[in-house]
Amino acid sequence: MAEKINIFGIGISGLVGSKITEVLKDKYIFDNLSLDTGVDITDPKTLDVIRNDKEHPIVLHLAALADVDKCEESRQLGKESLAYKINVLGTENVVTACRDAGKKMIYISTDFVFDGVNPPVGGYTEEDGPHPLNWYAETKQQGEEIVKNSGLAYIIARIAYPYRSTFPLKKDFVNAIIERLKNNQQVFAVTDHIMTPTLVDDIALALDKLIETKSSGIFHVVGSESLRPYDAVLKIAEVMGFDKSLISQTTRDEYFKNRAIRPFNLSLNNAKIKKLGVNMKTFEEGLKTFL
């Protein structure tokens, strides 16, 4: 059996990262770099653990301030905002440490780098230029630029609306909906937004393939179906056997009133990763894994 590859993981204790490490544990050894282990990406000195290391050829960087509304509240602070310090300066610090140590970097980014105004037929591809609408997306896109211009071997993996089997510390949108429907509570679902939900298990398998094939560049590591949140909620009810009469329609303007702007159509195209032999599940297929 091939020897396991050592990977430094930053931000791997969260909803996405913890599932990636669980799915890939037989092939990789993930060493967690976090505040708990003395690493703060906003403090370059704490990243000497990367600089001084010779055992980990890859750094997987998931750490981000990803609360879209919380980020937006601090937009006026600009470079003094926590979103900027973590998502931009933190990423720059990780990139510098990787460059000093000659490591490959995998940067997890987001579908929100697009404005959702007029995506091409079939969804945004990796060739389409980003145009972020909110502060979270802007800081993530700046992070992408830092990675792209770093001179490093890198992978930028854009993910979208990740969901997974139960995670006790945080509910993704699927589990939040399941809980409400299970408790016979009303669900208001948006009709004028399009998203591309992604099973986290598939993200893990896609990253494995990207590492295995020594790929580099930007990849849309997203599910194979784009749909409205309203239709997604109906599908959850259908697959899980819940009462559809609990589901009501609403709009982005109503649902996200006084909150950060959300792009309209975030259909993403995953053909590039499919060419590598990675089959990302449709939303319905992903839901059926819950059963």
Read off the pLDDT of each residue in 144-169 and give the average, rounded to a whole number: 95
Identify the residue with better confidence: 259 or 210: 210
> Over 80: is that where the pLDDT of 291 sits?
no
Read off the pLDDT of each residue in 270-289 and give the average, rounded to a whole number: 96
- Using one digit for the tens of pLDDT, what is the confidence trace for 67-112? 999 999 999 999 999 999 999 999 999 999 999 999 999 999 999 9
Quote the pLDDT of residue 1. 63
| Strand pairing report for 154-159 and 198-199 | unpaired
Distance from C-alpha of 210 to C-alpha of 208, rounded to nearest angstrom: 6
Distance from C-alpha of 220 to C-alpha of 123, rounded to nearest angstrom: 11
Domain segments of the chain: what residues? 5-164+197-224+267-283
Based on C-alpha coordinates, what's the Rg of the chain?
19
Quote the pLDDT of residue 167. 85
> Over 70: is that where the pLDDT of 50 sits?
yes
How is domain 5-164+197-224+267-283 classified at the CATH fold level?
Rossmann fold (3.40.50)
Collapsing DSSP to helix, strand or coil, 130 comes out as coil
pTM for the model: 0.95
Provide the mean pLDDT of the chain.
Answer: 95
The alpha-helical segments, DSSP class H, found in 32-134 are 48-51, 68-73, 82-84, 91-101
Distance from C-alpha of 222 to C-alpha of 158, rounded to nearest angstrom: 7
Crossing angle of helices 91-101/135-148, nearest 10°? 10
